[in-house]
Structure 1
Amino acid sequence: MRIGIIGTGMIGATLTRRLSAAGHTVQIANTRGPAALAGLAAESGATATGLDEVGRDVDVLVTAIPFGRMPDLSPLLARLPSVVPVADTSNYYPHRDGRIPEVDSGEPEGMWVQRRLGRPVIRAWNSLVQTTLADKGRPKGAVDRLALPVAGTDPAAKQAVLGLVDDTGFDPVDAGTVEDTWRMQMGAPAYCTELTVEQLRRALTLADHDSVLMRRDAVLTIIDTWEHGDTTFDDLVALNRAAAGAHRLLGS
């Protein structure tokens, strides 16, 4: 499959490596231009290109940029054929993105992104911390393989992205439509809690919209008190599990 990736931070770079290793033809782009991507391109076998070119002649476009910058992609994505799925990996973090009243009030993040891009969006790879994606992908059938939710309204687009999640080393779980994307964002039991397929399905079922919003704000408040130099990604997973009531998910 031909895949374009916009954004080459830790998530975008890891997806570049994993999808290239799975045999896909990958193009990468960021705001710094192709020259800044020479190392990642050489390492992964991906092709570095410009933002105006990365979406041309691809089967799927993956966006791995901050949530608040997603509307900036609207002019670029408007030039994409309507049949090209857009898979968004972003999450709303107010300390980085600024306050977004619609999302603060409960609009699902996927809906907010979709309305601003003016085209269907599939949400994937957003519900895991960076080190989980980089270090914990496993071959299909492995007993310790983790699962990831994928949500979106377009069936064909979602099916394509479900397959790509599988290729990156995680069991894909259909998490519903774009209206259901609140079930996989910060504060939800499925968000960054490192679950198996059955645990993840349970987490999606247990999610309560109002509780998700309250837990999101509580988790952000706790994170704001941390000394970030001493914080690990394992700490973030543990915090999200505690907020979600991990005993309900893990069967303990």
Structure 2
Amino acid sequence: MSSLNLGDVCPSVEIFTAIQILTMLASALVSALSFLGWRRVTREEHEKTIRVSWNKNTFTLDFKDFTNGLHEATVKDLKLKFKDLTNVPIATMNMKVSGAHIKDDTATLESVGVHPYCVVELSGELLDQDQVAQQTSSGNPEEYALIQRIASIVDDLSSNFIETIDSYENSLKEQQAKLEVNKDHKLDDDGRKKLQDHGIYCSERLMQALIRLDAVECPMEFDKARQKRRESVRFTQRLLDRVDILRSTARSIV
């Protein structure tokens, strides 16, 4: 006569025992994680948390200090939190979400497409403190970052764009020389359009540069940044005045 196996008589006993063991293990795991500081994230916390990717690292930022979370916190608030976390100056920060650049610091995070636990891509640089001390009057990395931002706008004009204005001026001189030789000389439609488009392009580029400079906000205490901005505005305006004169000359030719 074969011996009686409890599992054969009541298989559910083994299943029940296994469930009890798993429950005990799960409870022990939760206790251990709790001891280490882990706890379950609430739904409210989840809805107020995002991730920021910077310098090959991902950071988690929460906006629990805002009653309405991402519906209330602004892009500027996000930059301030990230600055506190990493010391990256706000003036060097550029952000993207889902491939789109975020430009309006006053916009709420929700309005620019930032949703719970999405990843915001951020670019920005930590600055050399020796350079900050040498190049600023305040010793503040934010001032140095603003100076760099202003320089990037004007340096592009100095190194590349002045040649475009020179080219425009030379084209006008060529046409003027032809008119001096032959007063009946006239540009064809294609030549006229190229000359007009060249002048419009120069004006638009310089206007864009002035708008970008105007968007740089320098606090009163950032003396060198404010001076750099004033000089850059004057430099850009001189170029625009030169282009305006050239365009006026072009109108008399075409």
TM bin, normalised by shorter chain, reads under 0.3
Q: Going by fraction, where is helix more abundant, 1 or 2?
A: 2
Task: Return the index of the structure with the highest Cα Rg.
Answer: 2
